[in-house]
Amino acid sequence: MAYQNPRPENWTGRVSNQELYLHEKVKLISASSLPKTEEKAIAILGYSCDEGVKRNQGRVGAKEGPNAIRKALSKMPNHLSNTEHVFDVGDIVCFDTDLEKAQELLSEQVFALLQKNTFPILLGGGHDIAYGHYNGIKKYLASKNKNRTIGIINFDAHFDLRANLDGSNSGTPFYQIAKENTTFKYLCLGIRKDANDAQLFKTAKEFKVDYVLRNKFALFNLKAILKQLQIFIDTVDKVYVTIDLDGFSSAYAPGVSAASPMGFEPNVVMACLKIILASKKVISIDMAEMNPKYDRDGQTAKLAASLVHHVIHTKF
């Protein structure tokens, strides 16, 4: 079994009987039973997999990330109207180390969620989530007979452009996407020189990747960042946003697969999300590398949940 229904135990908290909290607002439904809606709807889908992290020699435990984020999100306040809906549609689960099958199933599920007129928010899981996620978006746009350019905006310390010559992992998704598509539009925000070797910078140059180094990805440089971001958004038709939680400093996100104190801080990400979401081009979003095994007081789960909370209330 590679699909798991949503779990009620992830959605608990203070009871108001007025839907003041998200656990009272979110509806749990199997992905196959999710109806197509003409009203505004968000679908939360988990990617319970850390096989890619294991293959990439990272700290395993990210397969428990989706549920940790849900539990933190459930207690947060709900400010949505009655015509705005949020569904938890369960998880794609990686079994028997079959990462490629999990990515394939994830792609199919993203495609199905987009067909049902929902906005997918995916919770990971390793950053190999990006390969399946992107392909689901690509398939959906192709089904509409629309030749749309997909721009990838990645908040991350790493390019994740490693060659997949020995198989795919959490460090190869954007290399795979680049090699399989004639058009590759990729902007990486928060890249660290101490986390990417010279070959990765060379690969980024070959694929014409746009990026902002971590030492410039900060509020003091916000005007320049937003200008670069807007230029990128203007060159694409649709935007896929992926947030790798290990890009944040471990002061904010200790519970990740590859923690470092040298990462960026949340406010610069929030400022970027404001302009990205305002573009109305965002088609889907995910959070990657949440690893509750190494979290401290649920801090990383709360950070991820706050980002999801912001997206949910800004998207509508």
Residue positions in the annotated binding site for Mn(2+)? 127, 156, 158, 160, 244, 246
Could you give the maximum distance between any two Cα atoms of the chain, in Å? 56
Q: From CA 262, how far away is CA 162, in angstroms rounded? A: 21
- 232's enclosing H/E stretch is helix 222-234
Residue 87 phi, psi dihedral angles, 5° rounding: -115, 140
Q: Is the dihedral of CA 133, 138, 241, 77 positive or negative?
A: negative
Measured at the CA of 200, the angle between CA 304 and CA 213, to 5 degrees, comes to 55
> Three-class SS of residue 88?
strand
End-to-end CA distance of the chain: give it in Å, rounded.
34
Give me the residue label for tokens 């490629």.
Answer: 100
Q: How far is 120 from 107, CA to CA, in rounded Å?
A: 12
What is d(CA 93, CA 116) in angstroms, rounded to the nearest whole number? 22
Q: Which residues are paired to 208 by β-bridges?
A: none
Residue 116 is inside which H or E element, if any?
Answer: none
Q: Which residues on adjacent β-strands are paired with residue 28?
A: 88
**Length of the chain (residues):** 316
